[in-house]
Structure 1
Amino acid sequence: MIKEIRALSRGIDVLRALNQKHVSSVVDLAAATGLSRATVHRMIQTLVESGIARRIPRSGLVSLTAAATELGSGYNDVTRAIELIEPLTETLTNEVHWPIDIHEISNGASIVRGSTTAVSPMCPFQTDPGTCLPILGSAGGRAIVATLSDADRELVISEATRRWECDARIAATPGAIDGMITNMRNRGYAFRVGGYEPQTFSIALPVRQNGKPIIAVSMIFFRRALTVDQAAQRYLSMLKEMIESVESELATLNRPGNDGGRLV
């Protein structure tokens, strides 16, 4: 009995650590809980078999699933949106070959929550979930910032400029933020050229819930292959269609009278 209680306690520790990090590795969970990696492996396998957690393919990382809504607040609107759009990004990458990243803004960074770089034949590098990027220096971050309310935008930019020197330079450039917002409105998408991956550029769109951006998706291209305008002309409608289907599903799940995986 004591052994079973100890195992349960360890499982709760792993679940709590995963809840706080959203996406994590065995190494990080072991460090956060003080448990051995072997023990964490066993706990994760139990959570996966129970449907509470899932392994992210080709990354070695783990995240919560929709079933976690039964346990508390670890599964939220952002997690739900990511879970809905992630398989669609892989399908689209398989179709057009260009990689797609999923971004969330948190703690002054544009955090990659999902990526198809591992399955894209066009991409020589791999972006792991959990990778932190500059907000103003990434297309996904720009897509979210440009569609936030003025008050939320000011707060996010303040956090970003404290964390990233490159974001501080952008924010200090007269007209840069206004130009970013105007570009988003006129073009219908955000974009990045060069920056943290000098040979690439990205176009991005936000995913909204109740009119507010909660995540963004960006498609990545090589600068030598095509221009930003050409990429938008060929692929923007595909991104929009994918996002609209997710936004529609989110609206259905959050409709009054439909608990659809809501927190309890």
Structure 2
Amino acid sequence: MDQLHQATLLPKPTIMRLLGTLKTAGLVTKGERGIGYRVTSDVQALSAGFHGGPLVAEAGRPWASDLTRRLRWPAAIAVPDGGRIAISVSTAASSTVSPFHATIGVRHSLVTRALGRAYLAWCPEEELRILLRLLAASSDPEDNPPKLERVVREMIAEVRGQGYALRDPKVEPRSSDTVAVPILLGGSVAGTIGLTYFRSAVSQAALVEELVPALKQASREITAAIERLQRNMPEAP
């Protein structure tokens, strides 16, 4: 509400009424635990192909919540945002053992963070080349380390080889880690899903035998849910 008020300068009661109208129309819904608002995938009916974050979030939110219910660790779903990856779903507020507080909207590096690495590792080569150019223009050392393309190519080979992505161990916070996998859709990556945990509490065996299989199953379920949503969407005018 505060963000909309600052961006539009509309009175807050007016914004409340507008949001109520959009909620009735199915274009927005309440956010996590009733806090804030988010758009739904029905916004695609308003234009020629709005997609990405809202669609992946709508399809993936139940599965992210299920992961946290079963495994306790907070789950996150992220989508590309320029040369970074942005959190569109987070269950940190529902996890009693979360290393972080609310993370929705936070943008992470594609090069060093697990959710971004999972995206880079499985996105099409044409998209990867575009992202490399965006990363090369960044002043953030996490995005643009020395010998950027070599670093990224080596990271991709490692991530694909093990079948999941981890955070670069050299970046903070070092007490926790994130493991992530892609959400595949056709020949592209719709987003990524990950779990964050304290390193001292999760063994390597638990990581590969419990967390990774659960993430991969959730990813497959989210892909199927996205495809169902797409089939049920009205065609854009």
TM-score by length of 1: 0.80
Taking every aligned residue pair, what percent have the same amino acid on both sides? 21
| Contact 1:193 1:202 survives alignment (8 Å) | no
Q: Which moved more, 1:68-77 or 1:125-134?
A: 68-77
| Contact 2:175 2:198 survives alignment (8 Å) | yes
**Which residue identity lines up with residue 168 of structure 1 in the other structure?**
N
Deviations along 1:40-95, one digit per CA (max 9) or x if unpaired, are 12211222233220111247332211332332257425422220111111111011
Structure of greater relative contact order (alpha carbons < 8 Å, 6+ residues apart): 2
**Which residue identity lines up with residue 214 of structure 1 in the other structure?**
A
Of 116, 131, 144, 1:168 maps to 144
Instruction: Give unmatched runs, 5+ long, in structure 2.
Output: none
1:231 maps onto 2:207 in alignment: yes
Deviations along 1:198-235, one digit per CA (max 9) or x if unpaired, are 21111111111112102000111111112455312211
3-state SS in 1 of match to 2:200: coil
Residue number in structure 2 paired with 1:219: 195
3-state SS in 2 of match to 1:93: helix
Residue number in structure 2 paired with 1:57: 32
Matches within 5 A, 1:1-264: 26-58=1-33, 60-73=35-48, 75-163=50-138, 164-169=140-145, 172=147, 175-194=150-169, 195-228=171-204, 230-254=206-230, 258=231, 260-264=232-236
Deviations along 1:150-203, one digit per CA (max 9) or x if unpaired, are 22112113223433222211x626742122111122111111144243211111
**Which residue identity lines up with residue 235 of structure 1 in the other structure?**
L
Q: Which moved more, 1:44-53 or 1:227-236?
A: 227-236
- Whichever of the two has the greater Rg, that structure is 1
Q: CA separation of 1:52/1:141 partners in 2, compared to 1, >3 Å: closer, same or farther?
A: same
3-state SS in 2 of match to 1:168: coil
CA RMSD across the alignment: 2.2
Corresponding pairs, count: 234
Distance 2:168 2:206 in 1: 14
Instruction: Give unmatched runs, 5+ long, in structure 1.
Output: 1-25
TM-score by length of 2: 0.88
